[in-house]
């Protein structure tokens, strides 16, 4: 089982390829569809994801797709399961398994992610449906009095329980302790919070004897707050991100698949490129440094599609272009 987990984890961070996050919950995808004036029905959600998954050459740039539970069980318009659509293109299906962030008791300005109840049983079903990896997201906020050690500890414990249960089921867990870029904090504050979150996460994974070679990390980049007056440039983002990782991410982890985390398409691509250029040949950066983008790959093609069948080809072309450019950045070869 360990060998299979290791092989899947390495395949997900294969050179030049990365992960498409298409796991938006019902409220999240409704907000995305609202921007194009489209009702969030099951059929429309299916059509959007089918558009992405059937884009020519998807397997050249995309190694895996994180699915929402609904999509994992969905058929395409011609009756082929969407999981089979992906696997036939050399893309590994995965699934988001957490149930979302809720107010943390005793610290209502912070969140804890729920979904451990019944997870063992759900994981068995997901594997039978074709999933080969899983993802769980924790949410860490930055403010003058947070994140607290309490918030970091409870979220790290949940991430580790999720990871241990996933590996028990033969599924590669992607752990995602996301430090949000919301706010006006400087990059030093993000670096401190990110390092604290990662240290807590890997301490909890060690306690629960999670096999790190059969996991991936889905981290935020170390960024200035979205509304900061003076946001750090890509070169500083790269150096700070790699410094924090060197202090907190074990070398046994095969890869880090960055989230786009509210960045624009261009910013997420430029920063990923800078990180890979800075890491090239560095012994202090032993991990594959890839991507697991949702909005960073979908925003442009969604706007092009606008829910209209006649726009499918143009939207697929826009997705192919974003995937190609992101793949170039994953190799440190993006030129703008």
Catalytic residues: 176, 218
Q: Exposed, middle or buried, 89 (CB in 10 Å: 0-12/13-18/19+)?
A: middle
Residue 290: which H helix or E strand, with range? strand 288-293
Q: Which is nearest to 25 in space by CA: 115, 89, 87, 110?
A: 115
Encode burial over 257-288: b for 16+ CB neighbours within 10 A, e otherwise. Answer: bbbbbbbebebbbbbbbbbbbbbeeeeebbbb
- DSSP H helix total and E strand total for the chain: 13, 10
292 and 258 in contact (C-beta within 8 Å)? yes
Tokens of 222: 């170390």
Radius of gyration of the chain (CA): 19
Q: Which two tokens stand for residue 188?
A: 């030093």
What is the C-alpha separation between 254 and 212, in angstroms, rounded? 8
Of 36, 40, 65, 37, nearest in space to 52 by CA: 65
Q: Where are the alpha helices (DSSP H) in 178-264?
A: 187-207, 234-248
**29 in helix, strand or coil?**
helix
Instruction: List, in order, residues 6 or more apart from 281 with CB less than 8 Å away.
Output: none
């Amino acid at each position: 089982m360990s060998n299979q987990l290791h092989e899947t984890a390495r395949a997900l961070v294969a050179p030049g390829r990365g992960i498409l996050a298409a796991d938006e919950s019902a409220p999240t995808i409704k907000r995305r569809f609202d921007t194009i004036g489209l009702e969030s029905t099951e059929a429309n959600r299916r059509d959007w994801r089918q558009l992405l998954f059937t884009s020519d050459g998807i397997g050249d740039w995309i190694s895996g797709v994180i699915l929402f539970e609904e999509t994992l069980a969905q058929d395409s318009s011609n009756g082929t399961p969407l999981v089979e659509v992906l696997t036939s293109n050399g893309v590994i299906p995965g699934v988001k398994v957490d149930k979302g962030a809720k107010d943390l008791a005793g610290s209502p300005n912070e969140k804890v992610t729920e979904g451990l109840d019944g997870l063992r049983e759900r994981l068995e079903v997901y594997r039978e449906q074709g999933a080969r990896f899983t993802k769980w997201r924790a949410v860490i906020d930055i403010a003058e009095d947070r994140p607290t050690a309490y918030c970091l500890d409870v979220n790290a414990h949940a991430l580790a329980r999720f990871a241990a249960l996933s590996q028990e089921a033969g599924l590669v867990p992607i752990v995602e302790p996301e430090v949000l870029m919301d706010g006006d904090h400087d990059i030093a504050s993000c670096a401190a919070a990110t390092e604290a979150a990662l240290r807590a996460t890997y301490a909890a994974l060690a306690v629960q004897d999670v096999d790190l070679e059969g996991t991936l990390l889905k981290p935020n980049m170390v960024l200035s707050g979205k509304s900061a007056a003076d946001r750090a440039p890509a070169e500083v983002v790269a150096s700070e991100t790699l410094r924090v990782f060197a202090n907190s991410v074990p070398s046994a982890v095969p890869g880090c698949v960055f989230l786009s985390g509210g960045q624009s398409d261009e910013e997420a691509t430029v920063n990923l490129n800078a990180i890979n250029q800075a890491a090239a040949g560095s012994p202090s950066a032993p991990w594959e440094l890839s991507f697991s983008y949702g909005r960073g790959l979908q925003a442009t093609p969604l706007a092009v599609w606008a829910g209209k069948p006649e726009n499918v080809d143009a939207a697929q072309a826009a997705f192919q272009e974003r995937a190609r450019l992101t793949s170039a950045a994953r190799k440190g070869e993006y030129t703008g």
